[in-house]
Amino acid sequence: MNFYECNLHTLPDGSDSPSRMALVAKRLGYSGIIICNHMTAGRAFGFDAARLVVGIEVVFGVEIVATNQRALHAKAASLREKADFLAVHGGDEKINRAACEDPNVDLLAHAYKGRTGIGVAAAKAARDNQVSIGLDLDPMIRLRGAARVRWMEVVRRDLGLIRKFDLNLMISTGAKSHLDLRSPRDLVALACLFGLEREQAIEALALPKSIIDLNRRKWASVGVELL
């Protein structure tokens, strides 16, 4: 099974280079990583060098940060042909819903802020537009006490919506340092604490590969693929 870490941040957003992330992720058992910095000007610093690391695929993605729905849709449309993977930095209820309504978006990341999650309207839109929902496990690792309990309550509620509407799910740590990375086995174990079946968690870690392969396919017209 090809496991991918779908939402990593490297220099200048994070503290490590793409090459360092790739080397550590390879050692942990990943087949690929997706660098999703908050940028639109080009690839992450050192990205081309990271692609020379043998035994792991390094994918260029972008995590869109937008202050309103109109800006989000404009950025997604302009970046769709430039990146192999598009994520949206969520958290705001309106941004969450706008991301799920945009078929250009591959992943809604960091959707949880306080007691805000994806909600029913966003879940329906994600189903219709095939937008994956990201389960960012970084708060599970970092938070303590009542803050972690509240976060887990929101995630469990939204996992019910994900099951109800049969939404695509991806699991990540949203790492900004190689020290934040966890092995696929660790992420599966953490995801199971929320009630996910082991097979569901494994599929969530393998899903990014399928999305990337689909995004890389080129179409001359409807139903006609360029090979």
Domains of the chain: 4-226 (3.20.20.140)
CA torsion sign for 5, 216, 196, 185 is negative
pLDDT band for position 140 (cuts 50, 70, 90): confident
Q: Is the peptide bond before 12 cis (omega within 30 degrees of 0)?
A: yes
Percentage of the chain lying above the pLDDT 90 cut: 66
In the chain, the amino acid numbered 155 is V
Average pLDDT over residues 188-208: 92
Average pLDDT over residues 35-63: 86
At residue 227, the pLDDT reads 62
* Helix (H) or strand (E) segment spanning residue 3: none
Residue 163, pLDDT above cutoff 80:
yes
Average pLDDT over residues 204-219: 90
Average pLDDT over residues 68-91: 94
At residue 219, the pLDDT reads 61
Average pLDDT over residues 197-211: 95
At residue 138, the pLDDT reads 87
Q: Is 65 exposed, middle or buried (0-12, 13-18, 19+ CB in 10 A)?
A: middle
At residue 119, the pLDDT reads 86
- 116-119: list long-range contacts, CB under 8 Å, 24+ apart: 116/91, 116/92, 116/154, 117/154, 117/155, 117/157, 117/158, 117/161, 118/90, 118/158, 118/161, 119/93, 119/161
Average pLDDT over residues 187-215: 93
Pairing type for strands 218-221 and 224-226 reads: antiparallel
Among 30-44, 61-75, 176-190, the minimum mean pLDDT is found in 30-44
Residue 147 CB partners (closer than 8 Å, separation 6+): none
pTM (whole model) above 0.85: yes
Indicate the average pLDDT of the chain.
Answer: 89
Residue 95, pLDDT above cutoff 90:
yes
